[in-house]
């Protein structure tokens, strides 16, 4: 018995040392038993980490990001010979037929005032005959065009409503390369059939980008570049910072596949603010187009408001509304109130068309204007 006591003491001591270690290791490694209660402090910490700045920003802005459904009417010509070129022989007997066809397209927009102002891209609503806006809560409103700026690719729509959710604008002048950017819009809206906007996240990749478009020669100046995914249908949606402020309007992407390749561009929100101020000051004609040109002169399509402001006899055409000091436009003698009749030997029918001629200045500038009934030719050769 005396020999047994030391042995039992040794076993007891070993158990006292080993069992707690074994127990703690298995409790750490093995899966918890079903029904195990996780301490509230742990779940609170996890929930807090999930509800980060990006989640809060998306929650703040998403109610103000809408779907814009546009109906356009185009003329389609039917060739009874299927393009075989037999019109010269049988055209009198089987003439081509033209008919109107309604085409629907979809983009995104951002509500910027509780009384129904919505900003989107000009290319989203271009040539629209009818527009419908759907909010994330599934409310639908007919939209009217308040104004459009082809150069900045912006359009302002109006909804006859009140107490709408409105996004908070930020300041695009203090953006930092590398900070979070959140793209909110309605990509592939027709396929998803869902008014809830989609959220993608990236960073501000670059600032003050100037990009020349593939067709038409339009130059998109001073754009924000982001790698947040922007897909078809996102155009006109919001680019948001981590504080939940709108810093830009998503406009277009560079893509080889038609989807997002991580190179997207947005119009800075400060440009949007300026655009909205211009439209509101003009009274919102419904077809107001104000375009900045490479000449340093701003031109607009003539509307009743501008016609009255400048005392114009013309009801249609292009009028100069502003000329920047020290610009080429000032050098060649352009002045506010001048009606542009011809440019580079061609008749001018729209402010956008006039701007495209002078996005990139080269060679000789040849413009014919009407100034209070006097026709003047402005001829200037660039050095």
| Residues taking part in catalysis | 123, 153, 235
CA distance 106 to 254: 19
SS3 label, residue 354? helix
Token pair 């001018």 is found at: 348
CA distance 223 to 238: 14
Q: Are 229 and 183 in contact (CB under 8 A)?
A: yes
Give the C-alpha distances (Å, rounded to integers) separating 212 from 149, 184, 220, 295: 17, 25, 6, 17
Closest CA to 251 of 297, 263, 261: 263
Cβ partners under 8 Å of residue 353, min gap 6: none
Q: Dihedral of CA 371/373/376/378: which sign?
A: positive
CA distances from 112 to 25, 165, 252 (A): 57, 8, 21
| CB hemisphere CA count around 131 (13 angstroms) | 25
Q: What is the DSSP letter of 41?
A: H
Phi, psi of 252 (to 5 degrees): -160, 175
Diameter over CA atoms, the chain: 131
C-alpha span between 117 and 246 (Å, rounded): 15
Closest CA to 332 of 306, 374, 368: 368
Three-state SS at 271: helix
The residue among 78, 74, 72, 146 whose CA lies nearest residue 109 is 146
CB atoms within 10 A of CB 319: 24
């Amino acid at each position: 018995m005396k020999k047994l006591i030391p042995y039992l003491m040794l076993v007891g001591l070993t158990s006292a040392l080993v069992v707690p270690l074994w127990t703690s290791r298995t409790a750490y490694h093995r899966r918890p038993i079903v029904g195990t209660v996780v301490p509230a402090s742990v779940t609170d910490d996890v929930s807090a980490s999930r509800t980060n700045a990006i989640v809060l920003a998306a929650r703040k802005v998403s109610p103000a990001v809408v779907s814009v459904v546009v109906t356009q009417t185009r003329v389609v010509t039917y060739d009874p010979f299927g393009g075989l070129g037999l019109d010269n022989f049988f055209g009198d007997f089987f003439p081509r037929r033209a008919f109107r066809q309604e085409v629907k397209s979809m983009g995104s927009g951002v509500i910027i005032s509780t009384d129904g102002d919505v900003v989107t891209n000009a290319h989203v609503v271009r040539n629209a005959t009818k527009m419908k806006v759907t909010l994330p809560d599934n409310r639908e409103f007919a939209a009217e065009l308040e104004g459009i700026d082809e150069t900045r690719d912006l359009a302002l729509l109006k909804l006859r409503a009140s107490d709408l959710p409105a996004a908070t604008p930020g300041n695009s002048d203090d953006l930092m390369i590398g900070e979070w950017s959140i793209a909110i819009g309605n990509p592939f809206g027709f396929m998803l059939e869902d008014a809830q906007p989609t959220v993608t996240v990236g960073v501000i990749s670059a600032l003050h980008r100037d990009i020349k478009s593939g067709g038409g020669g339009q130059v998109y100046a001073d754009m924000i570049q982001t790698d947040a995914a922007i897909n078809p249908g996102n155009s006109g949606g919001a680019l948001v910072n981590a504080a939940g402020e709108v810093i830009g309007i998503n406009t277009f992407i560079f893509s080889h596949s038609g989807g997002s390749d991580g190179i997207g561009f947005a119009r800075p929100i400060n440009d949007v603010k300026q655009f909205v101020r211009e439209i509101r000051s003009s009274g919102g004609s419904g077809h107001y187009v104000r375009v900045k040109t490479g000449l340093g002169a701003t031109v607009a399509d003539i509307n009743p408001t501008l016609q009255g402001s400048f005392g114009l006899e013309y009801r249609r055409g292009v009028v100069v509304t502003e000329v920047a000091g020290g610009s080429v436009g000032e050098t060649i003698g352009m002045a506010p109130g001048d009606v542009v009749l011809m440019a580079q030997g061609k008749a001018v029918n729209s402010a956008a068309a006039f701007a495209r001629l002078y996005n990139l200045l080269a060679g000789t500038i040849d413009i014919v204007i009407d100034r209070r009934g006097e026709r003047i030719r402005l001829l200037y050769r660039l050095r």
